[in-house]
Amino acid sequence: MQTSDILKKVRKIEIKTRRLSNHIFSGEYHSHFKGRGMTFSEVRPYQFGDDVRSIDWNVTARYNEPFVKVFEEERELTLMLMVDVSGSEFFGTQSQFKKDTLTEIAATLAFSAIQNNDKVGLVLFTGNIELYIPPKKGKSHVLRIIRELLEFQPKNKSTDIKKALEFLSSVMKKKAIVFVLSDFMDEGYEKPLQIASKKHDLTGIRVFDTKEVEIPNIGILPILDAESGKTVWVDTTSSGVRNTYAANYKSKVAYFQSQFNKSGSGIIHNRTDEDYVKNLIGYFRRS
């Protein structure tokens, strides 16, 4: 694709998502995240009316009089976008691919963050870590992130959420706001999810297409596995085949929900034909 075409696509998505983040979403982002992080500042003598839970018992014992810990609000936050770019994201039977919806959601979150003067970083992952852009501030930085979301060509097509979460824990030493955007057609990531969720404010955004939930009865047809690259012939007239596929799909969705709930992380489900802004705002207002 020509550079001019890429820039046109970047500009198009910037206009769409920035308008959303400016007029609809930035207030929700601001109220939901700002002030949630607190850092230790100092200790001072206890005063009448102080919360007893803030007493520093070590210092109190040392000086034989009560002291309390003083915390101050973290003014600067870091937003990390972890986006699945595996083969299964290039599927869509509605208005666009899952990848397109993931890109728009990520761009909206990124523009909302820079309006708050926060840092934004990006991890693109498949079965491997494909790209890591460390968190920075500024519009030009966010536009670079959007360009990568639009045009990056992954080397791998499989999915490994476990490896992506392990990478997050290795590079992000301070608390961050983390969104994992994927269809979550993967399992086995419960341990790194537990570790990451204890340190970060983590939310999983599952993007899916209505037609991938189950296979319709339309005869014998070739089906391409977007992640393995293999084509197999499937007899969709067989109720056993259809039921096995549906059960496998439901199992992965149930795993995603149960593990994210167990870890205390947030969950958003978004169909490719749904209004993702409405879902995001609803999520932040409920949280």
Predicted pLDDT at 34: 55
Helices 98-115 and 3-20, axial angle in degrees (round to 10): 60
pLDDT of residue 253: 95
pLDDT at 1: 47
Q: What share of the chain is helix, strand, coil (3-state, %, to 5)?
A: 45, 25, 30
Return the SS3 of 47.
Answer: coil
pLDDT at 111 (0 to 100): 84
Number of helices (H), then strands (E), belonging to the chain: the values are 9, 10
Name all domains of the chain by residue range, CATH numbers in brackets.
Answer: 3-33+75-286 (3.40.50.410), 38-73 (no CATH)
Question: What distance in Å separates the CA atoms of residue 100 and residue 121, rounded to the nearest whole number?
Answer: 19
Beta bridge pairs of residue 123: 82, 132
Q: Which two tokens stand for residue 148?
A: 């990568």
Q: Which two tokens stand for residue 49?
A: 């009316």
Q: Average pLDDT per run of 10 along the chain, which is 287 residues long?
A: 58 66 58 58 83 88 88 72 88 73 89 84 97 93 90 91 97 93 95 96 93 80 71 83 86 96 95 85 77
**Amino acid identity, residue 200?**
H
145, two tokens = 């992130």
Residue 245's alpha-carbon distances to 25, 210, 241, 251, 285, in angstroms, are: 37, 14, 6, 10, 35
Query: What is the value of pTM for the model shown?
Result: 0.77
Q: What one-character DSSP code corresponds to residue 272?
A: T
Categorise residue 219: left if φ over 0, alpha if ψ from -120 to 50, beta otherwise. left
The enclosing H or E element of 167 equals helix 161-171
